[in-house]
Amino acid sequence: MPVDGRHARGDATRRTVLRHAVDVASVDGLDGLSLGRLATELDLSKSGVFALFGSKEDLQLATIQAADEIFAEHVLRPTSEVAPGMARLRALCDNWLAYSERRIFPGGCFFFNVGAEFDARPGRVHDAIAAASKAFTGFIADTVAEAARLGELAPGADVAQLAFTLHALGRAANAEAVLHGGSGAYRLARACMHAQLDAAAR
């Protein structure tokens, strides 16, 4: 079946717009997005960009989805390729910190930033951010629990506490590094994470 050229061009434009939108939102927040701004900065037709998204809220929701896919590409999928247990837990910590330190998004962790922007604001955008955040915290907890089931954590290790601690360290590293610059916060967080894992290991 022949490919509809207009449809293909529309998909390509949508990907271009969303890749720029996630970068803008990581710095200026989701409220900093506008269809006109994106069209101007990308030198695209405003009418063409407006036709891709029904409203600013639709643009925000699509941006969250795009950021979630980028996060999965750099953190979740590489982690899932590692053998389950402590090896996967260590990979999760290292991949997450590397994602933030390499500035995959110029503003640091996209979800940390937009979460702070929308955490107390009800609505569809809040719910989408919360769902993405909950999915990642669940991924951490499941990875820790899997290591416990495999017998790679010491008897009595607190799975929930270890997952919470790893999550808190990753968030703290991102916040400190974005605010103050440098890589010191990542080195400290990485050392603390691995120390936590060493202490919990059988």
State residue 154's pLDDT score.
93
How confident is the model at residue 1, as a pLDDT?
A: 46
The domain of 82 spans 5-200
Band of pLDDT at residue 137, cut at 50, 70 and 90 = very high
Q: What is the pLDDT of residues 167-176, one digit of tens each?
A: 999 999 999 9
Residue 189 has pLDDT above 80, yes or no: yes
Q: 90 falls in which pLDDT band (50, 70, 90)?
A: very high
Determine the average pLDDT of the residues in 27-31: 96
List the structure tokens of 60. 């925000």
- Region 82-103: mean pLDDT is 97
- What pLDDT score does 8 carry? 63
Q: Give how many domains the chain has, as a whole number.
A: 1
pLDDT at position 50: 85
118-to-31, 34, 48, 88, 142 alpha-carbon distances in Å: 10, 17, 28, 31, 26
Q: Looking at residue 167, which CATH number applies to its domain?
A: 1.10.357.10
Can you tell me the distance from the alpha carbon of 46 to that of 44, in angstroms, rounded to the nearest whole number? 6
In this model, does residue 70 exceed pLDDT 80?
A: yes
Q: How far is Cα 102 from Cα 47, in angstroms, rounded to an integer?
A: 34
pLDDT of residue 134: 97
Handedness of CA 147, 152, 157, 162 (dihedral sign): negative
Please tell me the predicted confidence (pLDDT) of residue 140: 98
Backbone conformation region of residue 123, classed left if phi is above 0, alpha if psi is from -120 to 50, else beta: left
DSSP secondary structure of 158-202: -HHHHHHHHHHHHHHHHHHHHHH-SSHHHHHHHHHHHHHHHHHB-
Q: What is the mean pLDDT of residues 77-90?
A: 97
Residues in the chain: 202
Mean pLDDT over the full length of the chain? 93
Asked if 17 and 44 touch (Cβ cutoff 8 Å), the reply is yes
Q: What b/e sequence results for 146-183 when a residue is b if at least 16 CB atoms lie within 10 Å of its CB, and e otherwise? A: bbbeeebbeeebebeebbebbbebbbebbbbbbeeeee
Find the mean pLDDT for residues 99-120: 95
